[in-house]
């Protein structure tokens, strides 16, 4: 059997070459600098796609979270609630703002922030500046419950939708429920610009301010004048061209991700101890990664090491933030749901370029372990 490399989730340019059209235009007009028409149009097109009033194209999803926190007024000593089950890029910007993260457990029904644990956190920390909600692996968090709790406590909600562009909660795009939403276009995301991110909001004046901060906070003056701390966070015009082309095939990529998930579930769900990530009736995920948990004799490391020997990528579920050496000193509210998901979970290869032969190859290798 072929040992050709199968990736977890790699860049997939459009078959129609949309990206090259915009890149070529940037080169032909010599707009290869950070700003230009591709940046302006990518912001408008992404905002229109998800149903938000305004967007700022930035250098990364991390930069987008950072400036969302800044726009929300988060500063030194402020408490910010953050899911523990996430990538470090969700939590790091809290530290950039000299704020204090408090990590919240997941629930098994969504794998995302647990509303009950969130309520408990508010009881312990009533004066919270912001809540970051993550839509993990393209699975929507339970937004009605979460937004209800946050509105009751009058706190700003920032949605980390880095992994969930194209996911809907009750017919509405994730990333558009809170005051701010962020998307990532990192190389492994469902669409990519090689690197980059977007901050969306219905607060158009806040997005305008974010663009200002992201462009080194350069004042409107003939000379270089800076009255505020600035950041070099703007997206390149060339990169934005890739994003414009990728956005045209987002729906197609979501369709393929769903197909991959359903293929795995059909072939593997009957094996002893396997349970796939939860899909709720109100959730229409983008299935960025197909993930499952194992509670039997076969362990995640068995699958990952066996696939690795066959030149196939897979990954563990994110290690919770409260278990990370850097973040272990910060408070954690919850039980052991996130830890259990980490210890028993595995992300299967979910590359949209995978063929049926590739998928069959993966499941046959896994089945041999039972």
Per-residue pLDDT tens over the stretch 252-282: 999 999 999 999 999 999 999 999 999 999 9
Q: In terms of DSSP bridges, do strands 100-104 and 332-333 run parallel, antiparallel, or are they unpaired?
A: parallel
Give which of 239, 163, 211, 195 is closest to 60, Cα–Cα: 195
Are residues 266 and 230 both part of a single domain? no
pTM for the whole structure = 0.96
Domain that holds residue 334: 250-367
In CATH, what number is assigned to the domain containing residue 356?
3.90.1150.10
Radius of gyration, alpha carbons of the chain: 21
Last residue of a domain, one of 224, 247, 270: 247
The predicted pLDDT at position 35 comes to: 87
Examine residue 3 and state whether it is found in any structural domain, yes or no: no
* CA gap 108, 32 in Å, rounded: 46
Per-residue pLDDT tens over the stretch 53-83: 999 999 999 999 999 999 999 999 999 999 9
Last residue of a domain, one of 247, 279, 309: 247
Are residues 255 and 221 both part of a single domain? no
Q: How many domains does the chain contain in total?
A: 2
Last residue of a domain, one of 227, 247, 267: 247
Examine residue 2 and state whether it is found in any structural domain, yes or no: no
H/E stretch holding 314 reads none
Q: Confidence band (pLDDT; 50, 70, 90) for 285?
A: very high
Q: Confidence band (pLDDT; 50, 70, 90) for 33?
A: confident
Whether 2 shows a pLDDT value over 70: the answer reads no
* CA gap 113, 341 in Å, rounded: 13
> Helix or strand or coil: residue 16?
coil
Angle at 259 between CA 256 and CA 264, to 5 degrees: 130
Per-residue pLDDT tens over the stretch 73-113: 999 999 999 999 999 999 999 999 999 999 999 999 999 99
Examine residue 6 and state whether it is found in any structural domain, yes or no: no
Are residues 270 and 178 both part of a single domain? no
Are residues 304 and 187 both part of a single domain? no
* CA gap 307, 289 in Å, rounded: 16
Examine residue 278 and state whether it is found in any structural domain, yes or no: yes
């Amino acid at each position: 059997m072929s040992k050709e490399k199968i990736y977890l989730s790699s860049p997939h340019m459009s078959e129609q070459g949309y990206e090259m059209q915009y890149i070529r235009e940037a080169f032909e007009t010599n707009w290869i600098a950070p700003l230009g028409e591709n940046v302006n149009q990518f912001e408008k097109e992404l905002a229109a796609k998800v149903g938000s009033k305004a967007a700022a194209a930035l250098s990364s999803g991390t930069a987008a979270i950072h400036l969302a926190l800044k726009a929300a007024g988060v500063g030194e000593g402020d408490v910010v609630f953050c899911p523990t089950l996430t990538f470090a890029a969700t939590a790091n910007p809290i530290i950039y703002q000299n704020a204090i993260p408090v990590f919240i457990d997941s629930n098994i029904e969504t794998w995302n922030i647990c509303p009950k644990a969130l309520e408990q956190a508010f009881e312990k920390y009533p004066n919270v500046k912001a809540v970051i909600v993550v839509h993990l692996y393209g699975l929507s968090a339970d937004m009605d419950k979460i937004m209800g709790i946050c509105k009751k406590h009058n706190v700003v909600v920032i949605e980390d939708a880095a992994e969930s562009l194209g996911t809907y909660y009750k017919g509405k795009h994730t990333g558009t429920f809170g005051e701010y939403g962020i998307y990532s276009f990192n190389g492994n995301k469902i669409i990519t610009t090689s690197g980059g991110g977007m901050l969306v909001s219905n607060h158009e004046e806040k997005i305008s301010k974010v663009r200002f901060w992201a462009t080194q906070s350069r004042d409107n003056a003939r000379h270089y004048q800076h009255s505020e701390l600035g950041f070099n966070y703007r997206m390149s015009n060339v990169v934005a061209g890739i994003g414009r082309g990728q956005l045209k095939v987002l729906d197609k990529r979501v369709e393929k991700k769903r197909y991959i998930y359903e293929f795995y579930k059909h072939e593997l769900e009957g094996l002893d101890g396997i349970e796939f990530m939860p899909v709720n009736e109100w959730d229409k995920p983008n299935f960025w990664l197909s993930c499952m948990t194992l509670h039997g004799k076969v362990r995640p490391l068995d699958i990952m090491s066996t696939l690795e020997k066959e030149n196939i990528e897979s990954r563990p579920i994110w290690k919770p933030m409260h278990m990370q050496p850097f973040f272990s000193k910060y408070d954690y509210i919850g039980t052991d749901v996130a830890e259990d998901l980490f210890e028993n979970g595995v992300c299967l290869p979910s590359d949209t370029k995978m063929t049926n032969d590739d998928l069959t190859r993966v499941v046959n290798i896994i089945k041999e372990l039972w």
